[in-house]
Amino acid sequence: MTEKWREEKWAEGFWYRGKVSRRRVVGWGGGAIGAMMLVPEPWRAAFGAAKSYKIGSEQPLSGVGAIGGKTALVGLQMAADRINKNGGINGRPVELDVVDDQSSPAVARQKVEKMVQEDGIDAHVGGFLSNICLACMPVFEHAKVVNMISVCLDTTLTTTHCNRESFRVHDYAPAQAKAFGPMLAKLAKNWHIVYADYAWGQSTRDSYADGIKKNGANVVGTTGIPLGTADMTPFLSKISGNIDGIFAILFGKDGVTYGNQAYDLGLTKKYISAGDGAVCESSNMPALGKKINGFIGINRYIPVFQGPLNTPYLHAFFDEAKKRLLKVDPSGPLPDRYVQSNYEAMNALKQAMEASKFEGHADTPKLIEALEGMEMKEGYDFPQGNKTLRKADHQAFLREFLFKIVNDDYQLLQVVAKDKTLVPPACTFSA
Amino acid sequence: MTDAPLDTARPLAKTRLSHTAAFWLAFSAVMALLIIAPLVLPEFWSGFLTEILIWGLLAMSSDLLIGYTGIVSFGHSAFFGLGMYGAAAALLLVSPPNLWLAIMFGLAGAAGAALCVAYFSTRIRDIYFAITTLIFAQIFYVIIFTWTSLTGGENGLIFDQPHFAIPFLVNVPFHTATMHWFVLAVVTASYLILRRITQSPFGMVLQSIRENEARTRAIGYPVERYKIVSVMLSGLFAGLAGALYAVQKEFAAPDFVYFIVSGETVIYNIIGGVGTLVGPIVGAGFYQLMRQFMAQWFGDQFPYLIPLGIVFIAMIIFLPQGLLGFARRWLNR
């Protein structure tokens, strides 16, 4: 039955005159495959299915950084979904390759090596814990893969440890200190700095001490508190002397402990209370309650819409992020700077990929060229505001928000323009 | 009459000879496979195998204590970490970075820690020894974590990879395959040295301490001194593993000094088989591969520690002699 067609009139010429033989099939088939291989990439892209861009992302989804890592991933996924919904990048969709670094540098290193060498990612957006960002930077450098750092704050990432492949699209302590310094000097003459006693806390302490002194005020003492200290009273009760204000550099659970215990000891009533925005990040606010009222801080993102922050871009970002965060955490946290910086890092990569007509990993030099000095305009891609990615050190400069906590909510005090946060570059790229 | 003992000795000698031949044959076969591995494996898996060898060296070093001296150390992370930071110091201080200096500094760092731990811990036994080593490791961890100006604190240290250099002969940068061969050479040499040590009269005394410490002391051996040397040797090889890790990965972090690394080292020994030297390398490979494959098969966020824990418990119950011990018994059947 199946062979009956060979008997048909129309098939005679085709079948019986020896036109189809095994040799011919192999010959034509081989020729076709060879031709496919020789056809230039743009033609294949034009006629074949659009191959997706593979964007790797290393995040702490378990271990000590898990809460922040899951929040950060919300921002990244949100950006990727939006890009795909709007037609992708250069007409190609984006596919995320997310790995859980388990908050461990050894595990992160192994997984990032696999992502780069085995999975063949085109670029990377991620990194939450600074020690892990630092440990993984050589992998991106050797493999010549662009690495968009999306949360890590350690100053050295874009100073002493900078490399050509890594870019930080959010702020860092020296820029924050420059923005906050003038206000701090006006608020109090003599400051005491309380900081998390490890690398981030120590380097941030130095930046703020510098910022305070440059504006004519003094730092009369510092107190380092080990990470995860449940009872900070022995440290905080020693703070005394000729001081007018306490500046806190703590994050996460330690920020909550500090806020509550400093209030209980009467320090926040006695002295001006200020610090890094990480102390009262939106995820900490429910646990801090009224005790954090009066705190003056700095952050690149706060979930409010006062004055210049009442933009359709920030509203759209907030609404979508809040909806997605609810799925991750049923307590319904508000978006924070980790969501914002991951969202914008992915969009920055998209902008550079489009500008450089990036096709894949081989185009990394073109992509780096597009990223260096790139301007990002306030809009739906960059709701936080305008940004410049400086060529000299791959560090972004952006506007900063100075705020005060009033009635358990953020009250915007001042917006510091990105140009007022500029500090000299301190990076030398290896040849 | 006089020939009779010789006749009975001949089959024994023959058996020993065949065992030795079988050992070297198996050794050569495994070495051949490990040598050609980077030529046939993809880059990632080749690097992964190198990492397994390094973890294996760390596990093998602790086998000298667990398997041969009969004392369990939970402080090997300190030796490993100080070896790593020693190498990091050499790579950061000396320009251009020198491989041999890094290894020397790594060994010196581990030796310092081992001397300190050995002096105080070997005076006590059993669980007290294990706890003391754990406390020492945590002390070193806190020092490294908080002394930011020297150690980089939580961020650790990152540095450039040294070249493979032999003065007047060769000076080439490492790549995945050459790094693998270099690590393989170091691990093989370490294994042969440790094997020689365990088969020497010194090694016999260590095994005697493991079997009956009181009796060993009673027949006149200075047990404390033997234990100090054993801890020092073990610490040196653990430090060597740390230095190799630093050279391969170009970073040092306090997480490697944390007690979890010590716990994993004990697990490698139990999985592979204590008192076998090679077993812990097999154990390290089994653990690392299981973790990698589980992430690959069941997704990256799969809680691999649960099935690994079940496998570990099952092995303790059904294969108390570990994978290599079981294989050895099965082959001898």
Q: Check CB contact of A111 with chain B, cutoff 8 Å.
A: yes
Main-chain phi, psi angles of B178, to 5 degrees: -65, -35
Summarised one tens digit per residue, pLDDT across range A345-371 is 999 999 999 999 999 999 999 999 999
Per-residue pLDDT at A426: 92
Mapped onto helix, strand or coil, the DSSP state of residue A92 is strand
Q: Check CB contact of A131 with chain B, cutoff 8 Å.
A: yes
Q: Are strands A123-126 and A53-59 parallel, antiparallel or unpaired?
A: parallel
Q: Check CB contact of B44 with chain A, cutoff 8 Å.
A: yes
Main-chain phi, psi angles of B40, to 5 degrees: -110, -20
Mutate to test the interface with A, among B84, B148, B155 (most CBs of A within 10 A): B155
For residue A226, cis peptide bond before it (omega within 30 degrees of 0): no
**Which positions in chain B touch A137 (Cβ < 8 Å)?**
158
Per-residue pLDDT at A295: 95
Which residue among B44, B51, B253 sits closest to A135, beta carbon to beta carbon? B253
Compute the mean pLDDT over every residue in chain A, rounded to the nearest whole number.
Answer: 88
Domain membership flag for residue B283: no
Å between B263 CA and nearest CA of chain A: 15
Per-residue pLDDT at B12: 60
Q: Check CB contact of B154 with chain A, cutoff 8 Å.
A: yes
Mapped onto helix, strand or coil, the DSSP state of residue B167 is coil
**Which positions in chain B touch A62 (Cβ < 8 Å)?**
301
Which residue among B45, B155, B250 sits closest to A131, beta carbon to beta carbon? B155
Q: Check CB contact of A154 with chain B, cutoff 8 Å.
A: yes
Size of the A and B interface in Cβ pairs below 8 Å: 76
- Name the residue among A359, A340, A400, A410 with its Cα closest to residue A40: A359
Per-residue pLDDT at B169: 85
Mutate to test the interface with A, among B143, B147, B154 (most CBs of A within 10 A): B154
**Which positions in chain B touch A161 (Cβ < 8 Å)?**
158
Query: Tens of pLDDT along chain B (333 residues)?
Result: 444 454 555 566 666 667 788 888 988 999 999 999 999 999 999 999 999 999 999 999 999 999 999 888 898 999 999 999 999 999 999 888 899 999 999 999 999 989 888 888 777 777 888 898 899 899 999 888 888 888 888 888 988 899 998 888 888 899 999 999 999 999 999 999 999 999 999 999 999 999 898 899 999 999 889 999 999 999 999 999 999 999 999 999 998 999 889 999 999 999 998 888 999 999 999 999 988 888 888 877 778 888 888 888 888 888 888 888 888 777 666
Mutate to test the interface with B, among A100, A117, A163 (most CBs of B within 10 A): A117
Q: Check CB contact of A161 with chain B, cutoff 8 Å.
A: yes
Is the Cβ pair A198, B249 closer than 8 Å? no
Domain membership flag for residue B267: no
Is the Cβ pair A106, B255 closer than 8 Å? yes
Is the Cβ pair A199, B158 closer than 8 Å? no
Is the Cβ pair B47, A117 closer than 8 Å? yes
Domain membership flag for residue B24: no
Scanning every residue of chain A, which has its alpha carbon at the shortest distance from the alpha carbon of B143? A198
- Give the single-character DSSP code of B304: T
Å between A175 CA and nearest CA of chain B: 20
Mapped onto helix, strand or coil, the DSSP state of residue A65 is coil
Å between B43 CA and nearest CA of chain A: 7
Q: Check CB contact of B258 with chain A, cutoff 8 Å.
A: no
Q: Do residues A410 and A302 touch, judged by C-beta distance below 8 A? A: yes
Domain count across chain B: 1
Per-residue CA distances from B178 to B36, B172, B175 (Å): 11, 10, 5
Domain A174-299+403-410 indexed as CATH 3.10.129.10: no
Q: What average pLDDT does this structure show over A375-389?
A: 95
Is the Cβ pair A106, B256 closer than 8 Å? yes
- Name the residue among A94, A89, A144 with its Cα closest to residue A357: A89
Which residue among B47, B48, B301 sits closest to A100, beta carbon to beta carbon? B301
Q: Check CB contact of A198 with chain B, cutoff 8 Å.
A: yes
Domain membership flag for residue B179: yes
- Name the residue among A317, A334, A300 with its Cα closest to residue A71: A334
Q: What average pLDDT does this structure show over A315-325?
A: 95
CA distance A346 to A359: 17
Residue A2 has pLDDT above 50, yes or no: no
- Name the residue among B298, B100, B238 with its Cα closest to residue B306: B298
Q: Check CB contact of A384 with chain B, cutoff 8 Å.
A: no
Which residue among A98, A137, A199 sits closest to B152, beta carbon to beta carbon? A199
Residue A37 has pLDDT above 80, yes or no: no
Position A26, amino acid? V
CA distance B231 to B8: 41
**Which positions in chain B touch A199 (Cβ < 8 Å)?**
148, 152-155
Q: Check CB contact of B56 with chain A, cutoff 8 Å.
A: no
Q: Check CB contact of A414 with chain B, cutoff 8 Å.
A: no
More confident residue, A403 or B9: A403
Domain membership flag for residue B37: no
Q: Check CB contact of A361 with chain B, cutoff 8 Å.
A: no
Q: Do residues A421 and A397 touch, judged by C-beta distance below 8 A? A: yes
CA distance A410 to A284: 12
Has the ipTM of the complex gone over 0.90? no
Domain membership flag for residue B189: yes
Q: Check CB contact of A223 with chain B, cutoff 8 Å.
A: no
Share of chain A above pLDDT 90, in %: 68
Is the Cβ pair B44, A113 closer than 8 Å? yes
Strand partners, A401: A299, A415
Range list for CATH 3.40.50.2300 in chain A = 53-171+307-398, 174-299+403-410
> In chain A, positions 37-66, which contact chain B (CB-CB < 8 Å)?
61-62
Domain membership flag for residue B19: no
Is the Cβ pair B148, A117 closer than 8 Å? no
| Residue A23: pLDDT band with limits 50, 70, 90 | low
CATH number for the segment(s) A53-171+307-398: 3.40.50.2300
CA distance A288 to A280: 8
Per-residue CA distances from B317 to A361, B267, B311, B312 (Å): 49, 14, 10, 9
DSSP string, B273-291: -TT-SHHHHHHHHHHHHHH
Domain of residue B165 covers 43-258
| Residue A3: pLDDT band with limits 50, 70, 90 | low
Q: Check CB contact of B250 with chain A, cutoff 8 Å.
A: yes
Scanning every residue of chain A, which has its alpha carbon at the shortest distance from the alpha carbon of B43? A117
Domain membership flag for residue B310: no
Side-chain-facing half-sphere of A264: CA atoms under 13 Å: 14
DSSP string, A234-257: HHHTT--SS-SEEEEE--HHHHHH
